Amino acid sequence: MKLLRAAVLASTILCAAACTSAPEQAAEGEARSSDGREYLSQPLVSEIYTADPSAHVFDGRMYIYASHDIDGPTPEDDLGSHFEMRDYRVLSMDRVGAPVTVHPVALDVDQVPWAARQMWAPDAAFKNGTYYLYFPAKDKQGVFRIGVATSDSPTGPFTPDPQPIPGSFSIDPAVFTDDDGASYMYFGGIWGGQLQRWATGNYQANGSKTDLEQPDQPALMPKIARMDGGMKTFSEAPRDVQILDEAGKPILGGDTDRRFFEAAWMHKYNGKYYLSYSTGDTHYLVYATGDSPYGPFTYRGRILEPVEGWTTHHSIVEQGGKWWLFYADTQLSGQTRLRNVKVTELTYNPDGTIRTISPFK
Ligand code: FUB
């Protein structure tokens, strides 16, 4: 494994500009997980470590906006201090299975006047001839905010706005554009994502460290705000996205197999809105469906069983008449903080429910 890490580092240096690799050639990690299970999919790239993949099809090509993991010195903790990412690099491919290009740095933390550290899970959108990169980072006070940067190319380089999006907070932006052209940002994450510190509406630096710690109360919900036409500001104050159980009651904080933790994603299938997210410390990707982008959403089940590694974060996108689940695990490194993006096909049952995927064969 040490040799593999040295090889990855060497190829990262060689690939300072742009590299292309076929996914089948990227399978340099252990063939099986530490407990002997065979992986369902292989890493999309091995030149760099990547996670939190937000995939989009722009002009017929698949682009993946991912976190760029690095090996920093900070010990692991419950607040994710060990995720010390500093920049973003876009991946792209013609279609799933085709060679993958690792593009040069699209945005670096040093270019963002308000950001200090921890460039976490990003997303992107395209509107009116401009590509928008949305990204969370801690500001100089250690508070997560969400920034926006623009480019005339889907791979950047992106130019950041000097301030974060007004009214934004917490992490994991996901921007969804509906059939009528209206765009919405979903965001939020508990524990290290700080959503619990905003429970009163203002940031409480000394508030609960991880979540509300009220297992019998409704869980914290992801936030939604409609974007204005310029795609750089919210046109309304962020509001809660309700996630309900089969009886129509809010999912409770103690229901850790089903409650929202982080990594919200929205897609539309056969006219229904599918809100998917990570349950964090129970390591599932799950989903809920509704009839409006605002919800409410009713919990439906699991999309992905736990991957190898602590985090699980995904996106769902259609290309070539098939639906794809992008996710990540730690196959290449065996370390929580050094993840690698993967993809597999996602399928629906005739009633619109999603078939649960195991990340192992
Ligand atoms: O990659 C850093 C953080 O870990 C992301 O923002 C979360 O979704 C989790 O994957």
Provide the residue-wise pLDDT of the chain in tens; the chain has 361 residues.
Answer: 333 343 333 344 334 444 444 334 344 556 789 889 999 999 999 999 999 999 999 999 999 999 999 999 999 999 999 999 999 999 999 999 999 999 999 999 999 999 999 999 999 999 999 999 999 999 999 999 999 999 999 999 999 999 999 999 999 999 999 999 999 999 999 999 999 999 999 999 987 888 888 999 999 999 999 999 999 999 999 999 999 999 999 999 999 999 999 999 999 999 999 999 999 999 999 999 999 999 999 999 999 999 999 999 999 999 999 999 999 999 999 999 999 999 999 999 999 999 999 999 9
Is 247 a domain residue?
yes
Is 258 a domain residue?
yes
Is 277 a domain residue?
yes
Round to whole Å and give the CA distance between 342 and 28.
13
Structure tokens that stand for 335 in this block: 């370390």
Q: Which of 262, 304, 308 for a ligand 1 pocket mutation test, highest count of atoms within 8 Å of Cβ?
A: 262
According to the model, what pLDDT value does residue 208 have?
Answer: 81
Residue carrying the six token digits 């692991």: 76
Round to whole Å and give the CA distance between 274 and 266.
6
Q: Is 110 helix (H, G, I), strand (E, B) or coil?
A: helix
Give the torsion through C-alpha atoms of 334, 337, 342, 347, to 10 deg: 100
User: Which atom of ligand 1 is closest in space to residue 311's alpha carbon?
Assistant: 10
Tell which residue, 39, 44, 97, has the closest CA to residue 66: 44
According to the model, what pLDDT value does residue 21 have?
Answer: 47
Is 316 a domain residue?
yes
Maximum C-alpha span of the chain: 55
Is 288 a domain residue?
yes
Residue carrying the six token digits 């050639």: 25
Which residue has its alpha carbon closest to ligand 1 atom 5? 121
Asked if 308 is an active-site residue, the reply is no
Contact indicator for 277, 193 with CB cutoff of 8 Å: no
Q: Pairing state of beta strands 297-304 and 243-244?
A: parallel
| Pocket residues: Cβ below 6 A from ligand 1 | 51-52, 67, 80, 83, 120-121, 171-172, 189, 262-263, 311, 313
Is 359 a domain residue?
no
Which residue has its alpha carbon closest to ligand 1 atom 4? 311
Burial of 271 (0-12, 13-18, 19+ CB in 10 A): exposed
Round to whole Å and give the CA distance between 49 and 70.
7
Tell which residue, 132, 93, 113, 166, has the closest CA to residue 319: 93
Q: Which of 50, 52, 285, 326 for a ligand 1 pocket mutation test, highest count of atoms within 8 Å of Cβ?
A: 52
Given 28, 47, 172, 262, the catalytic residue: 262
According to the model, what pLDDT value does residue 29 have?
Answer: 56
Number of domains in the chain: 1
Q: Is 251 helix (H, G, I), strand (E, B) or coil?
A: coil
**What is the residue type of 304?**
L
> What is the CA(189)–ligand 1 centre distance, in A?
9
Query: Strand pairing partners for 325?
Result: 316, 344
Q: Give the full edge-to-edge strand order of the sheet including 315-319.
A: 315-319, 322-329, 340-346
Given 28, 47, 52, 329, the catalytic residue: 52
> What is the CA(359)–ligand 1 centre distance, in A?
18
Is 92 a domain residue?
yes
Q: What is the CATH number of the domain that holds 98?
A: 2.115.10.20
Contacts with 219 (C-beta within 8 Å, 6 or more apart), sequence order: 211, 212, 243, 250, 251, 252, 253, 255, 259, 260
Is 25 a domain residue?
yes
Residue 130: domain span: 2-346
Asked if 255 is an active-site residue, the reply is no
Q: Is 281 helix (H, G, I), strand (E, B) or coil?
A: helix
According to the model, what pLDDT value does residue 193 have?
Answer: 98
Contact indicator for 327, 285 with CB cutoff of 8 Å: yes
